[in-house]
């Protein structure tokens, strides 16, 4: 038989990838592995940080508070310095102005509140009388409860109540720590404000590249402007709220209307929790002093309507989109820092959130959702050469077909 001609190789064989493409693939895998480690470390730090900060609250709480006060008071110190005052004197005056505002606000609220504190037991008894009248309409519920208790045999159980320290004892134990933290806070605030020019100069001039210096300057200016403008704007809004509440309390005949106005202005700095506390206090005082529950609920209902208008119409229209934050983030920050540092953490939660938001806007936010589906963690991780990336993405795999011999 004659030899048959060799058949051509019809199966395509993939061409080997060029070394540059293999290097890019390996770099992308290495970058994704590093990004995964960064995400794991960030989650671990987020979960472990509360315990570290709460244990070291004597050190960390004054430091963070002083940092936030420095950001807020630095514009005032800059204005005073531009007016010809020495830097040390400008820093001292800005801190004294802040202390004067705090002392005046606390005096307006605490002095009448101490006088009304003695009336709280009588108010509670009056509220009990109101509810006692309401219970007569629901006597059938009480009878059912007694019958269930008799059937289950739990009528003669005894309860053991452990004695706890009184309020005065708790205040006495906490006073030395509070005084130490306050002194540390104001001392660090003064030295940070006084050193703000040197810190800015060092942050700007110690960079190796001009672009890095410009980026640092933009970050510092934006963080300072955003936090200071937010605190000033919200402070003015809360001042107007306090004046309206004081006039309303005076019109409704409540005792110490100036105290109610100051309390409303101070509590309004706490998102969500502050207005709810104010509503509860007004309900307690109204129900404890009025002749009927409906009349007693009027102050709380009026403040609820005022807060609804302020939080949904006035504040968003004044602050605008620049200061609009996700309510979930606000609640998360509020619960997170309240868990760590209590009431002080709640007051610091929004300024800290604003600072972190400004830093993320300049440094780049992580793409966590996209990272779970294979995308880069940061936008900067994308290939710099867009045309090369598109070419690599659209390129079809080349094959070679054997030719007959």
For residues 266 and 235, what is the distance between their CA atoms, to the nearest angstrom?
9
**Unique residue bearing structure tokens 């009336």:** 119
Q: pLDDT per residue over 169-226, tens digit each?
A: 555 555 677 788 888 888 999 998 888 888 777 777 766 666 667 777 777 788 888 8
Lowest mean pLDDT among 72-81, 289-298, 364-373, 387-396: 387-396
For residues 338 and 350, what is the distance between their CA atoms, to the nearest angstrom?
11
For residues 331 and 350, what is the distance between their CA atoms, to the nearest angstrom?
10
Structure token digits, residue 396:
């079809």
- Give the CA angle between residues 199, 202, 203 to the nearest 5°: 85
**Unique residue bearing structure tokens 């001292």:** 92
Per-residue burial over 149-180, b if 16 or more Cβ lie within 10 Å, else e, is eeeeeeeeeeeeeeeeeeeeeeeeeeeeeeee
Q: Which residue has the higher pLDDT, 385 or 67?
A: 67
Q: What is the DSSP string of 22-86?
A: HHHHHHHHHHHHHHHHHHHHHHHHHHHHHHHHHHTHHHHHHHHHHHHHHHHHHHHHHHHHHTT--
Residue 344 Rama label (left phi>0; alpha psi -120 to 50; beta)? alpha
Average pLDDT of the residues in 137-163 = 58
**Unique residue bearing structure tokens 């994308």:** 382
3-state DSSP assignment of residue 383:
coil
Count the Cβ atoms, other than its own, within 10 Å of residue 377.
19
State the DSSP H helix or E strand holding residue 13, giving kind and residue range, or none if neither: strand 13-14
For residues 201 and 393, what is the distance between their CA atoms, to the nearest angstrom?
45
For residues 46 and 59, what is the distance between their CA atoms, to the nearest angstrom?
19
For residues 130 and 262, what is the distance between their CA atoms, to the nearest angstrom?
29
3-state DSSP assignment of residue 262:
helix
Structure token digits, residue 109:
């609220």
Count of H helices and E strands in the chain?
16, 2
Q: pLDDT per residue over 45-89, tens digit each?
A: 878 888 888 888 888 888 889 988 988 888 888 888 888 888 889
Q: Which of 232, 353, 331 is nearest to 273 (CA)?
A: 331
- Give the model's pLDDT for residue 401: 37
- Give the model's pLDDT for residue 405: 39
Q: For residue 324, what is the DSSP state?
A: -
**Residue 93 dihedral angles phi and psi, to the nearest 5°:** -65, -40
């Amino acid at each position: 038989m004659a030899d048959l001609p060799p058949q051509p190789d019809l199966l395509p064989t993939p061409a080997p990838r060029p070394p540059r493409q293999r290097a890019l693939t390996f770099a992308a895998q290495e970058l994704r592995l590093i990004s995964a480690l960064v995400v794991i470390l960030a989650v671990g730090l987020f979960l472990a940080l509360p315990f570290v900060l709460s244990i070291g609250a004597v050190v960390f709480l004054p430091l963070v508070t002083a940092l936030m006060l420095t950001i807020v008071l630095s514009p005032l110190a800059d204005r005073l310095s531009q007016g010809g005052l020495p830097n040390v004197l400008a820093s001292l005056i800005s801190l004294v102005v802040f202390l004067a505002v705090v002392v005046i606000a606390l005096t307006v609220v605490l002095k009448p509140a101490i006088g009304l504190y003695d009336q709280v037991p009588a108010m509670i008894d009056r509220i009990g009388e109101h509810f006692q009248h309401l219970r007569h309409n629901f006597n059938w519920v009480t009878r059912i409860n007694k019958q269930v208790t008799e059937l289950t045999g739990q009528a003669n159980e005894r309860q053991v109540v452990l004695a706890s320290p009184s309020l005065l004892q708790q205040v006495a134990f906490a006073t030395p720590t509070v005084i130490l933290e306050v002194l540390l806070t104001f001392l660090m605030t003064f030295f940070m404000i006084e050193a703000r020019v040197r810190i800015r100069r060092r942050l700007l001039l110690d960079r190796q590249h001009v672009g890095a210096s410009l980026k640092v300057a933009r970050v510092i200016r934006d963080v300072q402007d955003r936090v200071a403008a937010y605190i000033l704007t919200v402070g003015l809004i809360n001042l107007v709220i306090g004046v309206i509440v004081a006039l309303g309390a005076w019109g409704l005949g409540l005792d110490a209307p100036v105290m109610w106005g100051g309390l409303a202005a101070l509590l309004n700095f706490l998102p969500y929790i502050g207005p709810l506390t104010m509503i509860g206090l007004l309900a307690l005082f109204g129900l404890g002093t009025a002749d009927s529950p409906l009349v007693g609920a009027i102050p709380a209902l009026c403040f609820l309507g005022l807060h609804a208008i302020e939080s949904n119409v006035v504040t968003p229209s004044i602050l605008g989109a620049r200061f609009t934050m996700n309510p979930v983030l606000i609640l998360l920050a509020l619960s997170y820092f309240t868990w760590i540092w209590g009431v002080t953490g709640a007051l610091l939660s929004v300024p800290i959130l604003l600072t972190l938001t400004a830093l993320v806007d300049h440094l780049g936010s992580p793409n966590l959702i996209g990272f779970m589906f294979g995308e880069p963690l940061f936008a900067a991780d994308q290939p710099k050469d867009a045309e090369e990336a598109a070419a690599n993405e659209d390129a079809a795999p080349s094959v070679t077909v054997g030719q007959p011999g």
